[in-house]
Chain A
Amino acid sequence: MIDAIGLNPDDLSLSHAQAVAYAPAMDPHPEDSALMLRYKDGDVDAFETLYRRHNDALYRYLLRLCRHRDNAEDIFQEVWGKIIKARGRYQATAKFTTFLYRVAHNCFIDHIRRNQRHQNTADIEPDSQASPTDAPEVETERSLARRRLDAALQDLPEEQRDVFLLHEESGLNLDDIALVTGANRETTKSRLRYAVKKLRAAIDEPNRPEEEAS
């Protein structure tokens, strides 16, 4: 596992549990690592449970990181393909989430090297989650805020966007995000702080030039 995805076992030792014990089959909420170990032994249902826990968050992470739906879907499949193929060598030495997002991060970096398309304009539109209980003017304001946030997110430098998305989607702490991105903790913290600051400014700034123009 470790070699296949470029993880250093020494780095992994600082996160989460040492080794996750095999979860009993009756456990209604087995840990990710236990599910992966069960899949390693041929239990496809365990993998499905694991997959459903992470598929949407990983998809959103890749979608907003790539900013192109097709690329995100390609990388998404590539990531899960690597997870599936690595199951024979999988060892529960770190959080599964760290493992998953490290693979995803590496796949994205490989994708950048192979294809520079992602650096061009984005082709995704933010999903709106309109609440039926909100007044129209409130909803309009929220919608505008979401648009501003999304635009600001896409304008972020890639490293800052990556850290912010990992923070929001993976649920990993700073140490694990640092592990995923290969940066140290302070750098990671700094990137996240800058990203959040810019996004907050975008939300708080209602009259951006592009909105005025539209």
Chain B
Amino acid sequence: MTEHRSTPDIDGPGDPLVSSAYRESAAERAPDALNRSVMQQAREQVRTRFFRPVAWLRPMAWAATIGLSLAIVIELSTVPQTAFDVPVIEIPADLEVKPFGPRARKIIADDGRVTLQDAGSLHKAETAVPATSSVILMPCAGDIRNLPESWLECIKRLESDGLVDLADSEREQLQQAFPDFELP
């Protein structure tokens, strides 16, 4: 330890002889154990203070996480449900649904719209409906349904065009209309 013992200010009734005698008499120094204890306390106090922001940050992070989660949930719950609904196209009752010819084919546009085009008659039946549409089409309608063979041929064309759901629907209707007909 550095000895620091400044000379008293001689502006009072001091006595150099008394001061000198006192200084010879009083030479104690603070014990090392005390010094260590105080310095340890000083370090801990600083550590405590500088860790305080970290301790404060943790609940803040939790609060921010919870708040953000709530905001997302509320945002999702307030979005209009119709945005996710598939638009349903109502087909007028008097609309004549023309069957597709043997060369009808499916055209998938860049925007996902499906177009069924009959190349022979240049009849273009644009559904303007997403591929997931629930619109019921009757591609095998009219005289095709009179005979199970022609109906089945129409179904096969649908399958080859990739319209599997329509083909399955037609297959079920064919089975109901001609229960004795043996489907392949």
Contacts and interface: CB of A to CB of B under 8 A. Distances in A.
Given A60-B26, A81-B41, A196 B9 contact: no
Interface in A196-210: 196, 199-200, 203
A34 interface: no
Interface in B13-29: 13-15, 17-19, 21-29
Given A44-B43, A200-B17, A203-B18, A146 B24 contact: yes
8 contacts: A39-B42, A48-B39, A55-B30, A126-B25, A146-B24, A150-B25, A174-B11, A196-B13
Contacts, number: 131
Interface of A: 39, 42, 44, 47-48, 51-60, 63-64, 73, 76-77, 80-81, 84-85, 87-88, 126-129, 142, 145-146, 149-150, 153, 167-169, 171-174, 188-189, 192-193, 196, 199-200, 203
B58 interface: no
Contacts of A142: 24
A94 to B, nearest CB: 16
Contacts of A54: 4
Contacts of A48: 39, 42
A123 to B, nearest CB: 13
Q: Which of B3, B28, B35 has the most CB of A within 10 A?
A: B28
Contact of A196 (B2, B14, B29, B45): B14
Contacts of A53: 2, 4
Interface residues of B, number: 40
Interface of B: 1-9, 11-15, 17-19, 21-31, 34-35, 37-39, 41-43, 45-46, 49-50
A73 B31 contact: yes
